[in-house]
Amino acid sequence: MARHLITSALPYINGIKHLGNMVGSMLPADVYARYLRQRGHEVLYICATDEHGTPAELAAKERGLPVDAFCAQAHDAQKAVYDGFALAFDHFGRSSSPQNAEITQHFARKLNENGFIEERAIRQVYSPADGRFLPDRYVEGTCPHCGYDKARGDQCENCTRVLDPTDLIEPRSAISGSTELEIRETKHLFLLQSKLQHEVERWIDEVAEEWPHLASSIARKWLTEGLNDRAITRDLDWGVPVPADTWPELAAEGKVFYVWFDAPIEYIGSTKEWADAAPDGESRDWKSWWYEPAGASDVRYTEFMAKDNVPFHSVMFPATEMGVREPWKKVDYLKAFNWLTYYGGKFSTSQKRGVFTDQALDILPADYWRYFLMANAPESDDSSFTWEHFTATVNKDLADTLGNFVNRVLSFSRKRFGDDVPAGGDPGEAETRLGEEIATLLAEYEEHMEALQFRKAAAALRALWSAGNSYLEEKAPWLEIKTDKDAAALTLRTAMNLIHLYAVVSEPFIPSSAAAMRAAFDLPGDDATWVTAEQAKALTTLPSGTPFTVPPVLFAKITDEDLESYKERFGGRPEQQPQQEQPEKSA
């Protein structure tokens, strides 16, 4: 049985992420990791905050904090939100860790030894007022394409055009505002990706056939356009330092590695952080997950990310790993997502439009969001969040189909039979049909989860819940009890076994609600992690006499008043929304 290494795109340190960031990487990775753990696999789910780069320095400056202090605070704030969403990381690290610096510098030295790094002189913007070279985002000005006067030196936020700092009209320093800028020569390290093009192409041909079309097509598009040599250092105060033992001159100038070079390496660094954080008496071998001679040959590595991150992880990071000429684990399956939009437009902090993850948890429990986002995951196309759709999904699927089933079965049984699972007679034709249907639907659910088809998996899970309601309507225990008390008891016992089954198999999507359903039954030794086909057909896991309680309402309906208040608070008029723009990137 393969071990499963799972990573999701590293959320950038600057700011709390919105729902699109959540559904594009971390949440589906968590759902998959939870499912694999339940099926008995050894799983390691790794993530971290991506902390280097210009935006972190600028954000720290705006807040009047040292950049390391800003990143520490922001990391803790993000981690609190992810804990609130019940993301079960094995480790949530930081790209500013000593472990990442050590491994990043190791990679750079090896790439240099193998002839894949070259020192080149380039012309770059220099600010005499600041006494430093200005990386792309440290230069602001007017976009030459649309006239937006706050465009950055890497991209115009208004028209999304990719820019070079020298393209800007009336450029100025983002640090001091000085317009007295010069173009000077400076040296940087370049990763010679062009030398690795054919190796990456051969590797993509081998592994990408089973990837989603979105991921494989993006990778092949970049390869068709050709891999260009890429600068991997920057003039910043915050980052992994260029090692002085290899490049003393650049190290003396304070050069650091570019965030897109060290960020993917942080997957390995975070795994080493996890190993180093092992409690006393526990030994963790981080290399066995990443280094093939150390045991990683039996690891299946799955990455989760939005489509804008695919080039870096499908082409650039594998090229880096290849150039090191050491047997580091490369991705086996890359699950890419399109974008979740807000009424067809962009989530925007500055314009106070859209739902961000901390705000989401302020108004409703995590399971509402987890289920909706996965049931509408942007797998084949972009999908749009609207409050109307969210409300309808929560009310129909969670409140009516699942929550109401649990409540009315347990409440009615307690009212008529007491606080133990009733006995009743032997299963009949209706129970046999139900068992066959549940086993079939469970097999479909498993098939979709194994294939990482989350919308289809959510639909199969919903069908499992619906089957219980159909059975209850068919048997109508509220009528049976008037003429045949044993028949009503059988129906309720069968329905309670369905609740227990739902608690087990729904856990990847709605872990808190699943735990509440399972905790309703005082079943000794209830440590089952999954349900077999035979158990699904029999529906006898809960024997008669098992004590139970009626849990609080699992899912409260969203009212019309709630809906209007959410739209008022977060925006939601389609006519107010701009055209879709590229969302914030994460590594």
**Strand duo 383-385 + 169-173: pairing:** unpaired
200 sits in which H/E element: helix 197-207
Q: Rounded distance, CA 206 to CA 191, Å?
A: 24
Asked whether residue 71 is marked as a ligand-binding residue, the answer is no
Asked whether residue 146 is marked as a ligand-binding residue, the answer is yes
107 sits in which H/E element: helix 98-113
Range 276-284 contact pairs with CB under 8 angstroms and sequence separation of 24 or more: 276/99, 277/91
**Of 48, 6, 1, 13, whose CA–CA distance to 30 is shortest?**
6
Contact (CB, 8 A) for 348 and 320: no
Q: Rounded distance, CA 269 to CA 261, Å?
A: 13
171 sits in which H/E element: strand 169-173
Q: Which two structure tokens, joined as six digits, stand for 432?
A: 């046999």
**Of 86, 581, 38, whose CA–CA distance to 342 is shortest?**
581
Q: Rounded distance, CA 234 to CA 229, Å?
A: 15
Q: Rounded distance, CA 324 to CA 472, Å?
A: 61
Q: Rounded distance, CA 522 to CA 420, Å?
A: 9
**Taking the CA of residue 146 as centre, how many other CA atoms within 13 Å lie in the half-sphere pointing to its CB?**
14
Q: Which two structure tokens, joined as six digits, stand for 280?
A: 């006393």
337 sits in which H/E element: strand 333-337
**Taking the CA of residue 209 as centre, how many other CA atoms within 13 Å lie in the half-sphere pointing to its CB?**
5
Q: Rounded distance, CA 489 to CA 480, Å?
A: 9
Report residue 222 CA to chain centroid gap. 24
Residue 71 has φ and ψ, to the nearest 5°, of -65, -40
Contact (CB, 8 A) for 243 and 252: no
CB atoms within 10 A of CB 20: 28
Q: Rounded distance, CA 51 to CA 223, Å?
A: 28
**Taking the CA of residue 77 as centre, how many other CA atoms within 13 Å lie in the half-sphere pointing to its CB?**
15
Q: Is 443 helix (H, G, I), strand (E, B) or coil?
A: helix
Q: Rounded distance, CA 163 to CA 396, Å?
A: 47
**Of 207, 88, 78, whose CA–CA distance to 586 is shortest?**
78
Asked whether residue 47 is marked as a ligand-binding residue, the answer is no
Residue in this structure with the two tokens 């056939």, named with its chain if needed? 209
**Of 528, 530, 532, 481, whose CA–CA distance to 505 is shortest?**
530
What DSSP line would sit under 257-268, residue for residue?
E-HHHHHHHHHH
| Bind-site residues for ATP | 349
Q: From the annotation, which residues make up the binding site?
A: 143, 146, 156, 159, 349
Binding residue numbers for Zn(2+): 143, 146, 156, 159
